[in-house]
Amino acid sequence: MPKPFDVIVLGLGAMGSAAACHLASRGTRVLGIEQFTSPHDKGSSHGGSRIIRQAYFESPDYIPLVLRAYELWRKVEADTGTKLLHTTGGLTLGDATSELVSRTVAAARAHSIPFEMFDVAEVRRRFPALEPLAGDIAVLEPHAGYLPPEECIRAHLKLAAAAGAELHFEERVLGWNAADGHGGGHVSVRTVRGTYEAAHLVVTAGPWANEALAGLFPLRVTRQVVAWIAPRGGVAPFLPQRFPVFLIEQGSARGYGFPAIDGAAGGMKVAVHGSDEVCTAGTVDREIHPADLERIRQTLTVRIPALDGEVLRAQTCLYTMTPDENFILGAHPGSAGCTLACGFSGHGFKFAPIVGEVLADLATTGTTAHPIGLFDPNRFSR
Ligand code: BEZ
């Protein structure tokens, strides 16, 4: 008897919404299940903006994937009539010897990604609101910019539904079984509303991955704080037509932020990448404390003094860290009928459509032409 669904996708955040979209648009019968509404603000894909950039200092292996992600974001824009990828340029700033700067330049050179390099005087001339330190170098990537995560998720879900995906929201999963493989395989998912069957399962549970995958990987969920600050002196120098998204290396910390994309009322969204505050999605402290804001200011006001202005608002977000900070993407090491994506380590959002495309490849054929060797789930599973 034919299964009611070909693929069930668990979790409809950034990656699950993209997977559902790619699967459904290939004619696959998809059921997507999400414990909350989507988008929502309890995970890792809220807050209005995510950086997208091409000169991927983390590893050159990401570059072909991010270039494909650019193509796919443009396709989602065309298919939904929604502007999603806002190109502002991206500035990477820090000591010339810092890993951030040197690896960004190396990545751009190795993959012929356009960039400009500025010394301190040129940084001041181009961006008068910045106060670079002696010995700093800036790298400006013209194709970098930002994505609005909530709108991106909505767009993928809209395309998934239009292509025939069945999407269930506010339905908590109680358990799943995916011992069998592709095509003729048999997986079952039990939720608070019933039990569903399919040939294959895709798990895209974001910061709930430890629970959804029964602690299969050594994932560390960390509490992150982002703040919107009204720059002292006003937003004029920081408007997106003249100020880029930015990453700044300050000692052992990496600060980042966005131009004033919401105008004077919105301020600038800024944060420090990473934290040692290990938590779970269920237990994270979502209160904002003075020390959270102090950490952001200490990291960023050294080179952007105007960020000592008023904090307009702040919120928490979650990273799901792997030990090597590279993603986990591939077949479940112990369940032949399950493909998974998790551990995006705070830098995954921009890749959502390519992750969706890879998940659709793997779930339907067991293989993909995209280079995903760096993300092999077998490197950690325990
Ligand atoms: C990113 O480009 O993915 C990124 C930059 C700064 C902090 C977090 C992520």
Mean pLDDT along residues 200-211: 98
40 touches ligand 1 (CB under 6 Å): no
Average pLDDT over the chain, rounded to an integer: 96
Ligand 1 centroid–CA 273 distance in Å is 7
235 touches ligand 1 (CB under 6 Å): no
Question: Is the predicted pLDDT of residue 180 greater than 70, yes or no?
Answer: no
- 212 sits in the region (left: phi over 0; alpha: psi -120 to 50; else beta) called alpha
**Burial environment of residue 241 by CB neighbours within 10 A (0 to 12, 13 to 18, 19 or more):** exposed
Contact 197, 31 (CB under 8 A): no
Tell me the best of 49, 51, 325 to mutate to test the pocket of ligand 1, counting ligand atoms within 8 Å of each CB and taking the most.
51
256 touches ligand 1 (CB under 6 Å): yes
> pLDDT confidence of 185, banded at 50, 70, 90?
confident
Q: At what angle do helices 149-162 and 63-80 cross, to 10 degrees?
A: 70
Which atom of ligand 1 lies closest to the CA of 348?
3
Question: Is the predicted pLDDT of residue 284 greater than 90, yes or no?
Answer: yes
Task: Give percent of the chain with pLDDT exceeding 70.
Answer: 97
Question: Is the predicted pLDDT of residue 1 greater than 90, yes or no?
Answer: no
Which atom of ligand 1 lies closest to the CA of 350?
3
Mean pLDDT along residues 107-135: 97
Q: Is the peptide bond before 149 cis (omega within 30 degrees of 0)?
A: no
Q: Which of 237, 206, 241, 233 is CA-nearest to residue 346?
A: 206
pLDDT of residue 11: 98
53 touches ligand 1 (CB under 6 Å): yes
pTM: 0.97
pLDDT of residue 184: 61
